Amino acid sequence: MAGGNVMDSMMGIFYEQSSRLIGELRTDFSNYHDEEKYGQDLIQEVFRVVHTLKADAAMMLFDGIAYISKKFENLLYCFRNGPKVIEDTKRFDNVLCEYMNYVEMELTKIPSGKVMKEPPEHIAKDIDDYIVKLKKQYKLAESNLMRESNISDSQKKARQIYYIPGNMVSAVTEKKSDKKEAEIQTAELYKNDTESKNGVIVIKKSEVSKIRLAVAELDKIVKKLHSGDLVNEDFIKEIGEVQKELSCVTDKLTKGDFSVVAKKMELLVDEMSETLHKNIRLSVKGEECMIDKTKRDKISSALIHLIRNAADHGIEDLETREKFGKSPMGLIKLEFSQTGDNIKITVEDDGAGISSEKVLSAARKAGVIKDEKKEYSRQDIMNLLLINGVSTTNVPNDYSGRGVGMDVMNHNIKELGGTLNITSEEGFGTKIEITV
């Protein structure tokens, strides 16, 4: 049953993050609802949310949400490559509301394990019809849109470990022993992690008793103050002890380490190794660093994009690695470290590195470079990757290629007041450092 526990725990994170994203999207959308035309601000905000939902749902094996999110991405891609504005706001409102309502409906089914397996074809048809109209109206090329291939059977098989509702565990095929061990370890990690449901912290009984004791001590202190008793060193020491106890309990409720995130990334790399037919190992250090759990969730979302990019874009196939004298086993390093109040997260791979020419070409194609005569430093070129629409991948797939993943990651880190730095040496690998 350990596998069921870890899936329920991972699903808790997915449920909470996805619900928050849809809620934020509804709020943002309401701010634009009365406008005659929708501009790039709304388009990019919707793109970020849909892209993140697609990626997370695909990883958790919710193919209905992933499928319809990919469809919606294609619709938004039309507005990025075509008119840049949405003129038929009524039609867009209808399909966006259909999409949000569907995702919300599926999320409410998660606790019972009754999430729809088949994609909602009526919504898919509405989106497809809209895309056909836009392609004709603005003469958009088919190559500009992502291929609408269904997730292959091999990919489903590779990903089926990610979530199984408790009442469906008996129907699951046995997995390889190393994956089962990863599930068991992750389940143990989650046992000590404070749960959160619908934004409300669920407090364990052991923590409740500590809080009650601390509150009782505070009551005594307040009574002493009201009675006019002399405030002496013992009294000040007593206040300090209560404050320390409350601080300790608060930290346990609101902070957590990165162990859960690390195990999640290990499962992701394992999945991608099978799907992409690459030999990839993930090395993790410093997962014991503590951080606010809300921040940890956003960092986890950013790391999904970074690990995917490293495995998909960075690590070469076996033949290419052997050609350049590299180890057949690609390596991705994930390291967490803490200095004072700052947390530093490093993702480094020993893959192909980033081609400056490819980035500049992609930036020109996306219309980002305005001054062709300007000379760009290596760091300037790396920073271009953080602009939406800039992608060095020629053929988009289920993992990447839309030029939105890095933008989403950068957006999440900025929301946390953090910074990031990209360094890369062509032929030797890429390092991305995040500080929050």
Q: DSSP string spanning 237-275?
A: HHHHHHHHHHHHHHHHHHEEESHHHHHHHHHHHHHHHHH
Q: Do 244 and 291 fall into the same domain?
A: no
The pLDDT tens digits for 22-75 are 988 988 888 887 788 898 888 888 988 898 888 888 877 788 898 999 999 999
List the one residue out of 124, 127, 126, 107 whose CA is nearest residue 116: 107
CATH code of the domain covering residue 422: 3.30.565.10
Q: Is 346 a member of any domain? A: yes
Position 311 in a domain: yes
Q: How far apart are CA 1 and CA 170, in angstroms?
A: 9
| Boundary of a domain, candidates 228, 255, 282 | 255
Closest CA to 179 of 161, 201, 195, 166: 161
Domain ends where: 167, 182, 210?
A: 167
Residue 190 lies in a domain: no
Does residue 178 sit within a domain? no
On whether both 68 and 209 belong to a single domain, the answer is no
Q: Tell me, yes or no, whether 264 and 408 share the same domain.
A: yes
Tell me: do 276 and 337 sit in the same domain. Answer: yes
User: For residue 197, what are the contacts with CB-CB under 8 A and spacing of at least 6?
Assistant: 12, 16
What pLDDT shows up at residue 285? Answer: 97
Residue 143 lies in a domain: yes
Low-confidence ranges of the chain (pLDDT < 50): 1-7, 143-144, 146-192, 194-201
- Which residue's entry shows tokens 């407090």? 203
Query: Is this model's pTM higher than 0.85 or not?
Result: no
Same domain, 117 and 149: yes
Same domain, 155 and 241: no
**Rounded CA separation 32/379 (Å):** 36
State the total domains in the chain.
Answer: 3
Would you state the pLDDT for residue 165? 40
Q: Which domain holds residue 243?
A: 195-255
Regarding whether 248 and 105 lie in a shared domain, the answer is no
The two three-digit tokens of residue 303, written as one number: 């790391």
Q: Which residues of 161-191 are buried (b: 16+ CB within 10 A; e: fewer)?
A: bbbbbeeeeeeeeeeeeebeebbebbbebbe
Q: Given this model, what pLDDT does residue 13 score? A: 76
> Does 292 lie in the same domain as 250?
no
What CATH number corresponds to the domain at position 39? 1.20.120
Q: Do 368 and 392 form a contact (C-beta atoms < 8 A)?
A: no
Residue 172 counted as domain residue: no
Using CA atoms, how far apart are residues 124 and 122, in angstroms rounded to an integer?
A: 5
Same domain, 203 and 282: no
Shared domain for 302 and 430, answered yes or no, is: yes
